Amino acid sequence: MEETYDKLVERLGEVQDIAAAAGVLGWDQRTKMPAAGAQARADQLSTLTRLVYERFTSDEVGSMLEKLGPWGESLEYGSVEASVIRVARRDYDKARRVPIDLRAEMARAGALGEPVWREARTTSDFALFLPHLEYAVELKKRYIECFQPVDEPYDALLDDFEPGVKTAEVRAVFDELKAGLVPLVAAIAERVDAVDDSALTGDFPVAQQEQVEGTILRAFGFSDDEWRVDETAHPFASKGGPQDVRLTTHHRDQNLTSLFACMHEFGHGLYEYQVDRSLYRTPLGRGASLGVHESQSRMWENMVGRSLPFWEHFFPLVRDAFPAQVNGLDAEAFYRAVNRVRPSLIRIHADEITYNLHIILRFELEQDLVGDRLAPADASEAWDAKIEEYLGIDVPDVADGVLQDMHWSGGAIGYFPTYALGNVISGQLWERMQRELPDLTGQMRNAEFGELRAWLAEHVHCYGRTYMPRELLEREVGGGLDPQPLLRYLNEKFGAIYGLNGA
């Protein structure tokens, strides 16, 4: 049995090598590749992707998994061997359900849809993009058919990003979250002048930004021999290997969005960096899900990087880097400024509170689209209505409305909810951490992040994909998805900033 297992692991390792190579090519494409290299890169990625698929879904892998199944179940559930067999089996069954032609058509439609979306957004022309949206939804429905029976259609999509989590569960969590957030947003709206963030727009030379970012990332745990950070259009994090973590950011010389992007991507990078080395080249060697991943990025960006103790330490760094710009502010005023809440049209610029509402509306629309309750042609109107309902603002333009995100153009439907699930999970983990690391605040005030990193390694990161998100939560916070910790955290933090608690 061990021999078959070794053979399986070698085959899976080879698949991981090819996937990792494709990952480096993807990183290169978005950071270094000369623009005209796009066609050849598409050929290379298409070949590597096909190889990964062919070699993983081969009958040979299937029969090894078949043979190993009972043995795997006889082993300790969390052992590497049992988990490799279990997770590979689940991946294998999912991969085999989808005909290669449908996969290829989805990839093709996504590649064709993206430039059209780009043009449609530039020209604010929803009608131009509509046929592509219709086809993307159509393809997703065919994809869902491969996974019947499902409780509801959206389950099949969500499972690709948040394995084992059901739509009904997310809906309940989001309804509860929405019920808590909408009144908070309304209360803040009445005290909107309590926070002044005018110092955050102006003159921030990129060279100084890079110096500030470097200091903060190094304090977090970044080091040159295992990490790097590069410029890109839409920031992401990527892993070339267990000790090769690559963050990206996008500098603008009129604000500090890049600094927060760096801290966000650091959270993703640290997760990947701290996956146990014994899981390298196995299907377990990366984060458990997009939601758990996002819990890490949002934690470093918001719970650390937008906290008062953090800025009590690092404000002098920013003040010295941009003396004219933040002249006259102190650490607390700067902390308040980076936490200003303001309902706005664009998700990626949204604050820590309203961000969740942007996600919830997309989650609701996506369910309606694939559930045939909303025609793609009516998506823009439905979007605008929800923005009005949740955020109280008008959408003047489809470019800032239904066309703002790239996701649907590439066929990524079912992906959005993971962003807000990440916030929910970060709240649950953060609350437990407060109990277990009572000095966390003091440590952040001293720019000491070692215990925080170690806690996250031990309780979340080391496992990689050993446990599904639900199992991980069960083990680490003793329950399922629960928005209350996030709501408590947001109410406490923003209640203090906006003076709501005593109101």
227 binds a second copy (CB under 8 A): yes
Residue 219 has, within 13 A of its CA and on its CB side, a CA count of 22
Which position among 4, 5, 7, 21 is part of the footprint of a second copy (CB under 8 A)? 21
d(CA 135, CA 408): 10
Instruction: Assess whether the previous peptide bond of 149 is cis (omega < 30° from 0).
Output: yes
Does residue 69 touch a second copy according to CB under 8 A?
Answer: no
Residue 403: its H or E element:
none
Could you say whether residue 6 binds a second copy (CB under 8 A)?
no
Give the integer Cα–Cα distance in Å for 25 and 97: 28
Is there binding between residue 13 and a second copy (CB under 8 A)?
A: yes
Site membership for a second copy, residue 326 (CB under 8 A) = no
Could you give the string, one character per residue 233-272, with x where binding to a second copy holds by CB under 8 A and - elsewhere? -------xxxxxx---------------------------
Q: Select the span of 21-29, 78-86, 421-429, 470-478 touching a second copy (CB under 8 A).
A: 21-29
Q: Which stretch binds a second copy (CB under 8 A): 26-34, 97-105, 253-261, 288-296?
A: 26-34
Cα gap 486→289, rounded to integer Å: 19
Window contacting a second copy (CB under 8 A); options: 95-103, 129-137, 223-231, 412-420: 223-231
Q: Does 33 bind a second copy (CB under 8 A)?
A: yes
Of 94, 228, 306, 432, the one binding a second copy by CB under 8 A: 228
Backbone angles phi, psi at 246, to 5 degrees: -125, 115
Q: Which residues contact 3 (CB under 8 A, 6 or more apart)?
A: none
Task: Give every strand in the sheet of 227-231, ordered side by side.
Answer: 227-231, 244-249, 237-241
Please give the C-alpha separations between residue 329 and each of 15, 216, 257, in angstroms, as whole numbers.
53, 20, 19
Task: Give the span between the Cα atoms of 69 and 66, in whole angstroms.
Answer: 5
226 binds a second copy (CB under 8 A): yes
Residue with smaller CB distance to a second copy, 52 or 420: 52
The span from the CA of 376 to the CA of 137, in Å, is 8
Catalytic pick from 265, 352, 364, 366?
Answer: 265
- Residue 172 identity (one-letter amino acid): A
Stretch that binds a second copy, among 36-44, 294-302, 432-440, 481-489 (CB under 8 A): 36-44
Closest contact distance (angstroms) between CB of 12 and a second copy is 12
- Residue 71 found at the interface with a second copy (CB under 8 A): no
Under the criterion CB under 8 A, does residue 225 sit at the interface with a second copy? yes
Would you count residue 207 as binding a second copy (CB under 8 A)? no
Q: Percentages helix, strand, coil for the chain, rounded to the nearest 5?
A: 70, 5, 30
Q: Is 366 one of the annotated active-site residues of the chain? A: no
Is residue 231 near a second copy by the rule CB under 8 A?
no
DSSP letter, residue 415: -
Rounded CA-CA distance 212/123 in Å is 37
Residue 34 or 479 having the CB closest to a second copy? 34
- Tell me how many residues contact a second copy (CB under 8 A): 38
Question: Interface residues with a second copy (CB under 8 A)?
Answer: 13-14, 17-18, 20-22, 24-25, 28, 32-37, 39-41, 43-44, 46-48, 51, 224-228, 240-245, 280-281
The residues annotated as belonging to the active site are 265
